[in-house]
Amino acid sequence: MCGRYASSRRPDDLVEEFEVVENRVEKPLEPDFNVAPTKDVYAVVERPPSRDADQPPARQLRTLRWGLVPSWAKDPSIGSRMINARMETVAEKPSFRRAFAKRRCLLPADGYFEWYESAATTKAGKPRKQPFFIRPQDHGTLAMAGLYEIWRDPTRDDDDPARFRWTCTVITTDAEDDLGRIHDRMPLMVEPDRWGPWLDPTTPSETLLDLLVPAAPGRLEAYPVSTAVGNVRNNGPELIEPLPLEESLL
């Protein structure tokens, strides 16, 4: 799964890198080195200018909440359990199939965290887990494949600007060999030359899965980091600093 990641890029940098036409971020997010479910995150989407406009979709940068709430959900709390969508079932699972067909996004990240069961044990005899940070070798931006939904809050009035909740999820797949030692799942990446068809809501559904591939072997690096990342209240660039081997649980 992908349950934590880091996102420190500024909106202006993401607008340039992802060739965004409309920046819809009203209040920039602070750099976040411990992004957890239910937090607000940046997402790149393509949306029509308006419902009635006869114009092609425009690429936008928006702020979404991590944890997808399906449009048919009665209770938005379901989003906390919908942070990941498995590639193997995303096109058929009721919670995701409508978003997969029409509402796809890119979730920019510096990298993501996974936990490895070490040889060390707790007082209760259970394996202690060592967190790893996984990022591109060139320290570039990861464009994680995601889906988004727009949930209408029935308790709010029609003129309430907060009546719509925009949420998202990360699509995952089997981890490639080098990273599979740490965790068996990893987020799917979208290569720059595939951003257009992935985001385009008119792309035929039967071709979508062909656009998604795991990161090429050797493209990502993984290294142990402080166990402080396990507490969501901790935040700062020190969370992604490599941990000296003698201080890790390995």
Indicate the pLDDT class of residue 177, thresholds 50, 70 and 90.
low
**Alpha carbon 234 to chain centroid distance?**
20
Q: Is the pLDDT of residue 52 over 90?
A: no
Question: Please, what sign has the CA dihedral across residues 196, 201, 207, 209?
Answer: positive
Q: For residue range 86-129, what is the model confidence (pLDDT) as tens digits?
A: 999 999 999 999 999 999 999 999 999 999 888 778 788 888 89
Smallest CA-to-CA distance from 137 within 211, 213, 214, 223 is with 223
For residues 64 and 75, the model is more confident at 64
Indicate the pLDDT class of residue 51, thresholds 50, 70 and 90.
low
> What residues are labeled active site?
2, 114
% of residues, the chain, pLDDT over 90: 71
The arithmetic mean of pLDDT across residues 186-200, rounded, is: 94
* Most confidently predicted of 75-79, 123-127, 242-246: 75-79
What pLDDT, on a 0 to 100 scale, did the predictor assign at position 26?
92
**Alpha carbon 206 to chain centroid distance?**
23
- In this prediction the pTM is 0.92
DSSP 8-state secondary structure symbol assigned to residue 30: P
Q: Is the pLDDT of residue 241 over 90?
A: yes
For residue 145, the number of C-alpha atoms closer than 13 Å in the C-beta half-sphere is 28
The residue behind tokens 């909440």 is 65
Q: What is the CATH number of domain 4-111+139-219?
A: 3.90.1680.10
Indicate the pLDDT class of residue 37, thresholds 50, 70 and 90.
very high
What pLDDT, on a 0 to 100 scale, did the predictor assign at position 72?
92
What pLDDT, on a 0 to 100 scale, did the predictor assign at position 160?
82
Between 26-30, 154-158, 236-240, the lowest mean confidence (pLDDT) is in 154-158
The residue behind tokens 């379901």 is 78
Q: Is the pLDDT of residue 27 over 80?
A: yes
What pLDDT, on a 0 to 100 scale, did the predictor assign at position 250?
65
Question: Please, what sign has the CA dihedral across residues 88, 83, 189, 63?
Answer: positive
3-class DSSP state of 163: coil
What pLDDT, on a 0 to 100 scale, did the predictor assign at position 63?
97
Q: Is the pLDDT of residue 214 over 70?
A: yes
